[in-house]
Structure 1
Amino acid sequence: MSDDGSVQSTTVWPLPKFHFQVKWDSEVMSFQEVSGLDVEAQPIEYRHGDSPEFSTIKMPGIKKSGNVTMKKGVIKSDSKFWDWFNEIKMNTIKRVPVTIRLLGEAGGPIMVWTLANAWPTKIETTDMKSDGNDVAVASIEIAHEGIVVANA
Structure 2
Amino acid sequence: MADERIDPFRTFNFRLEIDNVPVAAFSDVTGLQSDGDAADYRTGMDIPLTNRKLPGLRKFGPIALKRGMVKDTTLWDWYTNIATGKPDRRNGTVILMDEQRNDVLRWHFENAWPNKMQASEFKAGGNEVAIETIELIVEGIILEAA
TM over 0.5: yes
Measured in 2, the distance between the counterparts of 1:133 and 1:7 equals: 50
1:2-41 alignment, distance < 5 Å = 7-10=2-5, 12-26=6-20, 27-41=22-36
Alpha-carbon distance, 1:63 to partner: 1.3
Cα offsets for 1:83-103 (capped at 9, x unmatched): 111112664322121111001
In the alignment, does 2:133 pair up with 1:139? Answer: yes
The residue aligned with 2:57 is 62
Match of 2:78 among 77, 80, 84: 84
**Structure whose alpha-carbon radius of gyration is higher:** 1
Percent identity, please: 31
Measured in 2, the distance between the counterparts of 1:90 and 1:71 equals: 23
The residue aligned with 1:43 is 38
Please tell me the root mean square deviation across aligned C-alpha atoms, in Å.
Answer: 1.9
> If the length of structure 1 is used for normalisation, what is the TM-score?
0.86
Cα offsets for 1:61-91 (capped at 9, x unmatched): 111112100000112x221221111112664
The residue aligned with 1:123 is 117
Measured in 2, the distance between the counterparts of 1:62 and 1:70 equals: 25
The one-letter code sitting in structure 1 at the alignment partner of 2:93 is T
Q: Secondary structure at the match of 1:61?
A: strand
Structure 1 spans left out of the alignment, 5+ residues? 1-5
> If the length of structure 2 is used for normalisation, what is the TM-score?
0.89
